[in-house]
Copies of this chain bind each other. A is one copy, B any other.
Amino acid sequence: MCQKVKPVQLDVRILARNDNAAAHNREHFSERGVFAVNVMGSPGSGKTALLEATARAFDDVRRVAALAGDLATDNDAARLRRAGMRSAAIETVQACHLDAEMVHHELHHFDLAGVEYLFIENVGNLVCPAVYDLGQNANVVVLSVTEGEDKPLKYPTMFAKADLVLLTKCDLLPHLSVNVSAILEALGRVMPHPRMIPVSPLTGEGVADWMGWLTA
């Protein structure tokens, strides 16, 4: 259940509890030598397709793993397993975002042996996931070219917290009246350090650049 909550004290208390769990997750990742990435974006923006392409791009797929959050179904985790990536679903039922305790709980059951990169695929939502720290090392926002040019301005919190924006489905650009430079300009107005890589898991465009950023 997603709420606009008053009084503000409750926000503070819930977020403080989340931050404690996130700090715990962060320690866990650090001890294990795991680089954790919170992958966020709208429903259908192409988060899972991006991670499938990422699995294929690694020399040894055992170096990567994923936790995939959704209200219902384990479709995404199943897709990632078919791409060779160790993965588990976190069903959030009514929650519109993952929180650090959900991730912490899942980590108790999840085998991270040999894993260097853990992708936490959040619930498809450009608002709520941005305010819940999961203990990740980086925030990656997946934005599809079909979503139009002004999403960074309309969902500023999400993009302000992004370390990297992956502009997906670029293979569709010839069929759209979308201007990539307008998206970049919008990102420049909300991201402290604007960084965007255009990608297409379908054609492979940009996947090498994304791998370069990830492994740098």
Question: Which residue numbers of A lie inside 8 Å of B, CB to CB?
Answer: 1-5, 10-11, 14, 42-44, 70-73, 75, 92, 94-97, 99, 123-128, 131, 144, 146-148, 150-151, 153-157, 169, 172, 175-176
Contacts and interface: CB of A to CB of B under 8 A. Distances in A.
A96 B94 contact: no
A75 B172 contact: no
Nearest to A130: B2
Given A123-B127, A125-B126, A146-B144, A43 B3 contact: no
Interface residues of A: mostly helix, strand, loop or mixed?
loop
A123 B157 CA distance: 14
B148 A44 contact: yes
B43 A96 contact: no
Given A2-B128, A10-B10, A96-B128, 19 more contacts: A1-B4, A2-B3, A2-B4, A3-B10, A4-B92, A4-B99, A42-B44, A43-B126, A43-B151, A44-B144, A44-B147, A71-B155, A71-B157, A72-B153, A73-B150, A96-B96, A125-B126, A146-B172, A172-B176
30 contacts: A2-B128, A2-B131, A4-B96, A4-B99, A5-B5, A5-B10, A5-B14, A10-B10, A42-B43, A43-B126, A43-B151, A43-B155, A44-B147, A44-B148, A71-B127, A71-B154, A71-B156, A72-B153, A72-B154, A72-B156, A96-B96, A96-B127, A96-B128, A124-B154, A125-B125, A125-B126, A125-B128, A144-B146, A172-B176, A175-B175
